[in-house]
Chain A
Amino acid sequence: MTPYVPPIRDMEFVLNELADLNAIAALPGYEQATPDLVSAVLDESGKLAAEVLAPLNQVGDRAGSHLDKGIVRTSEGWKDAYRVFTEGGWNGLALDERYGGQGLPWLVATAVQEMWHAANMSFALCPMLTQAAVEVILKHGSDQQKETYVRKLTAGTWTGTMNLTEPQAGSDLGAVRAKAVPEGDHYLISGQKIFISYGDHDLTENIVHLVLARTPDAPAGVKGISMFIVPKYLVHDDGSVGEPNDVRTVSLEHKLGIHASPTAVLAYGDNGGAVGYLMGEENHGLEYMFTMMNLARLVVGVEGLAIAERAYQQAREYARERVQGRPPGTRAGDRVTIIEHPDVRRMLMTMKAQVEAMRAVAYVATAAFDKTLRQPDAGERRKQHELLDLLTPVVKGWCTELGVEIASTGVQVHGGMGYIEETGASQHLRDARITTIYEGTTGIQANDLVGRKIVRDQGQGAKRLIETMQSFAAELDGKQDDVIEAIRTALVEGIDAMSRATDWILAAHARDPRLPAAASVPYLRLFGTVVGGWQMARAALVARHKLDAGAGDSRFYQAKLTTARFYAEHIMPQARALLHAILQGSEATLALDTDQF
């Protein structure tokens, strides 16, 4: 596996020029996030990612984590890395200052998390889950729960988990069966949870499980689910760790990828019931889970971006070294490195263009998230909420699907060596594969986009986004410039496809809700493709201005312009094909009887 080189130049470009870090740093409470500070933060976290986390990625893939006499052992080097990570205060980067966090914007955290995940996704999952747990407890926990858990979680002294899934309850959490019986000031939890990431490990003295379960007289379905804090070890009043709780690690799963991340089957209540503390009120568990869903889904989308970046770097380095054949039209002379072959360039450009588009969309979405939290003006906050709600399933669904494709292209660039584990290219593909599944499959993201975000408001939000993109396209003046013109034309066509697809979704839903459901994943892909093209067009315009102004760093801006052009010419046209599938395709999708498959 090649070393990881944090793509800080492009990150800073996206942060400053597209996601408008200055505007974020102007929000109340985010004043610390000045460009020089952010730059120092990116530099240092990049060093840590490249020097401490990245070298453990392949080690962890080979060794995995193990259940050893009831104790989960993480892979070699994990404990030291976790210590360096938490002692450096990185765990609390965007978390609440009142509990020891640094309170930096999520936008900055997103760039930093891209590096953690690109360096070593199996490792980065652990702090990501802790961060999600902190957000839920801060929002819905009691003051006492905050005092007991949030400080330790923020420091990383303890880690957090999400216990949703059960054998019969995956995408459909309404089917959760775990039980919670009231007992004095707490509840007794019993039942089995499966697929719990970092459900057990040896990195910290305690683990804080957030568990979905039902109380005895809870209504059926999603309205009867409550959330509980269930610590692995009970916590004394002074905050010290006491007796083990009644939760047992039954087994660890053997997986396609992220081998070093322990995925546990947990049994609660073998001995009468694990002590759990209710979060907020009974029967609101799913609602609470959803409050951190935006963030969690954005971060999993960033995992897709991160792995794609790493796979791209790996492929690029290989293509620069591997000597094979001669370019078309030459018979004699030296053999060349494969980066000279037009088709290898096509693969690398496909990777690069989509990585940059994903980065832009993911960061812009996170900037919207920051504004929903800190923007003083209620009207502006609402607008940003609308944008965030639309983009969240897109970042999760589109970036992770592309992450898998790009990691696969990365294998292809290597030829046979890509299929050989030693090279490292195939690990990216195996690791990326989970990202389209957990935190809601792509199908579930597409349902969310179509059902909750488009149909529910009759496409009002999507139409406003389409108008925003249209007015940007109208400002793009390609008269003087062929490249900008190519980008403008592709953008206009893409927006048109998105607009027509949106109209169809609304009309079809009124006829038969199964029709848009059958088209929802192509619609999500179309949405991502077009929004990505919009961001690349914005990037191109900035690059054009910088070049015209002679701002220096012309190689970066030229490459950005060319990459945006490649996106416009090679990726954006997919929007039209997707539109076709959406407009025509649902009936054939639904027509066969189940026994005809």
Chain B
Amino acid sequence: MKVLVGVKRVIDFNVKIRLRADNSGVETANVKMSMNPFDEIGVEEAVRLKEAGTVEEVIAVSLGVQQCQDTIRTALAMGADRGIHVVTDAPLEPLAVAKLLKAVVDKESAELVIVGKQAIDDDSNQTGQMLAALLGWPQGTFASKLVIDNGRAEVTREIDGGLETVMLKLPAVISTDLRLNEPRYASLPNIMKAKKKPIEALKPEDLGVDTTPHLVTLRVEEPPKRQAGVIVENADALVDKLKNEAKVI
């Protein structure tokens, strides 16, 4: 069985986000970029499945600019076998990503897809669900535990009220939550070996996918600065403020 893991290149979680001067978006030039942490968990899970003999091959897929190669290399250093890079400079919305991933899944005849539940840049939390719908596969989102056995995936999901366990028939799409595992540090020998593992470069056109965005970004702004709080004398004063100042009751 082949497993396909989506790895997105995002601004490193340590970096303080700055906006572009023209408010057209977040500044990404000369900012340290890394693999989306949820995707690291996805790679780790896939590599563990391979080490356990459950899957034969782990393919890391990234979509976007040239430098996404570095993100794929990181996945290869963690233990993925090869990479597929869909090269495009155009902005990609979750639906376009899901369509591209579907095309790659079809091309590779993969039977399991693992993606992060969201990426820490846009926090969309859509790709995995859309991909499952496009493929017509079952989905196990927000996974905190994954057991694959006998053509089925038992997925423990983190939901508002606690944990939910679902049983999916493979092929399926899994999206990872933080508690699924703790990703390993790539070893130095594996970092060096990763350089020699193959990465196939494709274009959206090769996959027959139109990535034209459906949304227009008007302006990106900093959230308003929080005002300093005040301590009120008593409950009446609080009610008064809620009624007359905040006008929420």
Task: Give A residues with C-beta under 8 Å from B.
Answer: 5, 8-9, 32, 34, 36-37, 39-41, 43-45, 47-48, 52, 84, 87-90, 92-93, 102, 552-553, 556
Contact of B186 among A9, A44, A52 (CB under 8 A): A44
Name the residue on A nearest B67 (C-beta): A36
Contact of A87 among B30, B70, B187, B192 (CB under 8 A): B187
Distance in angstroms from B18 CB to nearest chain A CB is 10
Q: Is the interface of A mostly helix, strand, loop or mixed?
A: helix
- Contacting residues, chain B, for A90 (C-beta < 8 A): 188
Name the residue on B nearest A45 (C-beta): B188
- Contacting residues, chain A, for B34 (C-beta < 8 A): 43
Q: Are B189 and A552 in contact, CB atoms less than 8 angstroms apart?
A: no
Question: With an 8 A cutoff between CB atoms, is B77 at the interface?
Answer: yes
Report the separation of the CA atoms of residues A76 and B152 in the bound assembly, to the nearest whole angstrom.
42
Q: With contacts A5-B14, A36-B73, A40-B194 known, is A102 near B29, CB below 8 A?
A: no
Q: Are A556 and B30 in contact, CB atoms less than 8 angstroms apart?
A: yes
Q: Are B14 and A37 in contact, CB atoms less than 8 angstroms apart?
A: no
Distance in angstroms from A33 CB to nearest chain B CB is 10
CB-contacts of B91-131 with A (<8 A):
none
Chain B interface size, under 10 / 10 to 19 / 20 to 34 / 35 or more: 10 to 19
Q: Are B185 and A89 in contact, CB atoms less than 8 angstroms apart?
A: no
Contact of A93 among B30, B32, B188 (CB under 8 A): B188
Report the separation of the CA atoms of residues A32 and B196 in the bound assembly, to the nearest whole angstrom.
11
Contact of A552 among B30, B74, B190, B194 (CB under 8 A): B30
Number of A-B residue pairs having CB atoms within 8 Å of each other in the complex: 53
Q: A34-B195, A37-B191, A44-B188 are in contact. List 17 more A-B contacts (CB 8 A).
A: A32-B192, A37-B195, A40-B70, A40-B77, A40-B191, A41-B191, A43-B74, A47-B185, A52-B185, A84-B185, A88-B185, A88-B186, A89-B187, A89-B188, A90-B188, A93-B188, A552-B29
Name the residue on B nearest A554 (C-beta): B30
Q: Are B73 and A48 in contact, CB atoms less than 8 angstroms apart?
A: no
Name the residue on A nearest B34 (C-beta): A43
Distance in angstroms from B27 CB to nearest chain A CB is 11
Contact of A89 among B14, B30, B189 (CB under 8 A): B189
Report the separation of the CA atoms of residues A370 and B69 in the bound assembly, to the nearest whole angstrom.
29
Chain B window 26-51, contacts with chain A (Cβ cutoff 8 Å), 1 for yes, 0 for no: 00011010100000000000000000
Most buried by A among B32, B74, B188, B189: B188
Q: With contacts A37-B195, A552-B29 known, is A88 near B77, CB below 8 A?
A: no
- Contacting residues, chain B, for A88 (C-beta < 8 A): 185-188
Chain B window 164-197, contacts with chain A (Cβ cutoff 8 Å), 1 for yes, 0 for no: 0000000000000000000001111111101100
Report the separation of the CA atoms of residues A45 and B14 in the bound assembly, to the nearest whole angstrom.
16
Distance in angstroms from B188 CB to nearest chain A CB is 4
- Contacting residues, chain B, for A48 (C-beta < 8 A): 185
- Contacting residues, chain A, for B187 (C-beta < 8 A): 87-89
26 contacts between A and B (CB under 8 A): A5-B14, A32-B192, A32-B195, A36-B70, A36-B195, A37-B191, A37-B192, A39-B70, A40-B73, A41-B188, A41-B191, A43-B34, A44-B77, A44-B191, A48-B185, A52-B185, A87-B187, A88-B185, A89-B188, A89-B189, A93-B188, A102-B189, A102-B192, A553-B29, A553-B30, A556-B30
- Contacting residues, chain A, for B70 (C-beta < 8 A): 36, 39-40
Name the residue on B nearest A556 (C-beta): B30
Chain B window 13-31, contacts with chain A (Cβ cutoff 8 Å), 1 for yes, 0 for no: 0100000000000000110
Report the separation of the CA atoms of residues A92 and B188 in the bound assembly, to the nearest whole angstrom.
9
Name the residue on A nearest B30 (C-beta): A553
- Contacting residues, chain A, for B194 (C-beta < 8 A): 40
